[in-house]
Amino acid sequence: MTRRTTIAIALDGAGWHPAAWRDPSARPTELFSPGYWIDLARTAERAGVDFLTIEDALGLQSSVLGGSDERTDQVRGRLDALLIASFVAPVTSRIGLVPTVTTTHTEPFHVATGLQTLDFASRGRAGWRVQVSAAAHESRHFGRRALPEFDLESERRGTSGLVRELFGEARDAVEVVRRLWDSWEDDAIIRDAATARFLDRDKLHYADFEGSHFSVKGPSITPRSPQGQPLVTVLAHQTVPYELAATSADLVYVTPHDDEQAASILAEVRDAEARVGRTGRPLSVLADLVVVLEATPELAAAALARLDAENGQPATSDALIFTGTPESLVERITAWTDLGYDGVRLRPARLTRDLEQLTDWVLPAFERADAAGTTLRERLGFERPANRYAAKETAA
């Protein structure tokens, strides 16, 4: 069975390498400007990229995981990702737009309506990368909840109670958001002059969610959006997030560093699905790769070395930093899709150099969808889901 490979691209500032802003191809004075984001989105769209993710956080970037630093030689500052996505929505027509939105400290109600509105503005191309915030300093930006200082070791081991709490909250947030997305049935607006009714109130449903972090009544203030349920995605490195993906998401990004890990992580994802009793469509699984691409392996290695030197130390990443030629990346992607991956999410180390390498030399190697007029769900092979409230009534 030939399966089209899903190719997503992850955007962050000047690129995923901390010294990327110094690259000749970078536009470091424009990272907060409208033109920069429109150019990136259109470049990716022209090449047939399936969707973009956009990074975000509730605090400054840092070279210290979970903490803050005082560095001035790296990109600091980000625009709100959901709003960047909303901004490029009317000036694009095919590419999916998947901003990162944090579930810790934020209001699920605003998250829900924000993504519905992105879905309207993009005519059905919205998605969400669910993220938690474990950083104590970020909690102090809100002052409503004290988080313990970040402990890397217990986080790595996955034994931190904090991790469970934050991902439990994320699971609740996704549930609330999904209920709000369904709270208007598709045909709730009737405009019936005879009875003077704009809408049929029987087709509106309360979310009635009660949880330990929040309770949300609903309905949404926003009618059901074109996709019904925008695409929900999760980045996962260990058991707890794999389970969040399995219970709550449509698509998961994972970070294998070699072929062996690629196989074992895929198995872990399927195990997590079985463990939580996931029904319906299995998770779509994408492998995340940071990419440094040049015409020869030597040139690519030299490019990375230069970036590392400028950074003062080698860059590290949760994902494999793939340094090589576009052709070898194509081989790697093909090998992993043969293993069972649905595709990849590629993180350009340098914007715009590595983005252009991808659009010019990597995307053309894969069959692209003619995606005019399709939603993001359709593009990735997901059906438009039935409204959970409407389905209940039919069954009753």
Partner 1 sequence: MSTTRRQVHLAAHFPGVNNTTIWSDPLHRSQIDFSAFEHFARTAERGRFDYLFLAEGLRLREHKGLIHDLDVVGRPNTLAVLTALAAVTSHIGLVGTLSATFNEPYELARQLATLDHLSNGRAGWNVVTSSDAFHGANFRRGGFLDHADRYTRAAEFVSLAKEFWDSWAPDGVVADRATGRFLAHDAIAPVTHRGAQFDVEGRFNVPRSPQGYPVIVQAGDSGDGRDFASQHAEVIFSRHSVFEEAKQFYTDVKGRLAGRGRTEDSLKILPAVTFALGDTEAEAAERAREDSLAQVGPKTAIAVLEQVWGVDLSDRDADGPLPEFDPDPEASITKGWAPRYPNAVQIAQAWRAQSEAEGLSIRELVIKVAGRQSFVGTPGQVAAEIDRYVQERASDGFVIVGTTSPHGLDEFVDRVIPELQERGVFRTEYEQGASLRRTLALPEPTEFVEEVRRVG
- Helix 81-88 to helix 108-121 angle (10° resolution) is 20
Question: Which member of 141, 157, 281, 306 binds partner 1 (CB under 8 A)?
Answer: 141
Return the H-helix or E-strand segment holding 191: strand 189-192
Is residue 25 near partner 1 by the rule CB under 8 A? no
Q: How far is the CB of 116 from partner 1 (least distance, A)?
A: 7
Q: 379, 304, 385: which is closest to 343 by C-alpha?
A: 379
Piece of 70-78, 335-343, 371-379, 385-393 that binds partner 1 (CB under 8 A)? 70-78
Q: Which residue lies nearer to partner 1 by CB, 68 or 239?
A: 68
How many residues of this chain interact with partner 1, rule: CB under 8 A?
76
Torsion of CA 294, 298, 304, 306, to 10 degrees: -110
Q: How far is the CB of 235 from partner 1 (least distance, A)?
A: 20
Q: Which residue lies nearer to partner 1 by CB, 105 or 257?
A: 105
Is residue 43 near partner 1 by the rule CB under 8 A? no
Q: Which residue lies nearer to partner 1 by CB, 109 or 242?
A: 109
Buried/exposed 319-333: b ≥16 CB within 10 Å, e otherwise? bbbbbbbbeebbebb
- Helix 108-121 to helix 161-182 angle (10° resolution) is 50
Is residue 219 near partner 1 by the rule CB under 8 A? yes
Is residue 86 near partner 1 by the rule CB under 8 A? yes
Question: Which member of 4, 42, 105, 384 binds partner 1 (CB under 8 A)?
Answer: 105
Is residue 390 near partner 1 by the rule CB under 8 A? no
Q: Compute CA distances 282 → 212, 246, 247, 385, 392, whole Å.
A: 28, 8, 10, 14, 23
Is residue 109 near partner 1 by the rule CB under 8 A? yes
* Alpha-carbon span 288 to 291, nearest angstrom: 10
Q: What residue type is assigned to position 186 of the chain?
A: D
Torsion of CA 235, 237, 243, 244, to 10 degrees: -30
Q: Which residue lies nearer to partner 1 by CB, 220 or 325?
A: 220
Which residues 322-361 are close enough to bind partner 1 by CB under 8 A?
A: none
Question: Which member of 83, 263, 301, 386 binds partner 1 (CB under 8 A)?
Answer: 83
DSSP helix/strand/coil, 178: helix
Q: How far is the CB of 152 from partner 1 (least distance, A)?
A: 20
Is residue 34 near partner 1 by the rule CB under 8 A? yes
Is residue 77 near partner 1 by the rule CB under 8 A? yes
